[in-house]
Amino acid sequence: MRIIASVGQKGGIGKSTAVMNVAAVLARDNRVLVIDVDPQQSTTWWAGNAEDTLPFDFTADVDPNNLAKLRSLDYDIVIVDTPGSLQDTAILQVVLDNADFAIVPLTPDDLSVKPLVRTINEHIKPRGVPYRVLLSKIDQRNAGELEDWQALVDELGLPRFRQAIRQYKAHKDAPSRGEVVTTYTATRANRNAIEDFDQVALELVSIWSREANEEKKSEEK
């Protein structure tokens, strides 16, 4: 079982979008549960609009006692949408205490950098939770934007996903339509939007495979 936390103590960074779409891709081959523990309930609203079309199970819960028992749930993967503010640190801490991995979205916005570094240094690193920064909402119309922000993350010494999430209208419209990438209409315009999340999910699976191989080698020694 894997528990993934989507983490970011700033609003508007694509945290919920990462949760819903990574979950959708991973649900092709796994039993997946998404849990909304953010009091703003963005993913809860999204899931409500989807009704019964989501390819994964969904629930909302902000009770720390329940969140401490995530490991007992009967799923292959649990993905948690954590609070997007500093006011709900207690909930974030409970989730990270149980997490196997953290996705940390970052938008190309100078004001997003400080909250990201603080969250990693104060909450993720002290717990030894593996993580990757996910560059999000990259505008392809801005020449060099992706490369500049990749360079910044690398200069900060933070691990990042090789794949970034580019800005597409399909992602912007998806919450109100109750859609995720696996239910997008397969048009030419949507193809790259779908591919971005396919690649992020593939990277996650590759990371887990490497970890499993390293553990196996360690046991053999």
pLDDT of residue 40: 87
pTM as predicted: 0.93
Nearest to 47 by CA among 73, 23, 13, 70: 23
Task: For the chain, give the percent of residues with pLDDT over 70.
Answer: 96
Domains and CATH numbers, the chain: 2-220 (3.40.50.300)
Residue 218 has pLDDT above 70, yes or no: no
Question: To which H or E segment does residue 35 belong?
Answer: strand 32-36
Amino acid letter for position 144: G
pLDDT in tens, 55-101: 999 999 999 899 999 999 999 999 999 988 766 788 899 999 999 99
DSSP annotation of 135: E
Residue 101 CB-half CA count within 13 A = 23
Residue 182 has pLDDT above 90, yes or no: yes
Amino acid letter for position 187: T
- What's the residue count for the chain? 221
Amino acid letter for position 10: K
- Contact (CB, 8 A) for 116 and 84: no
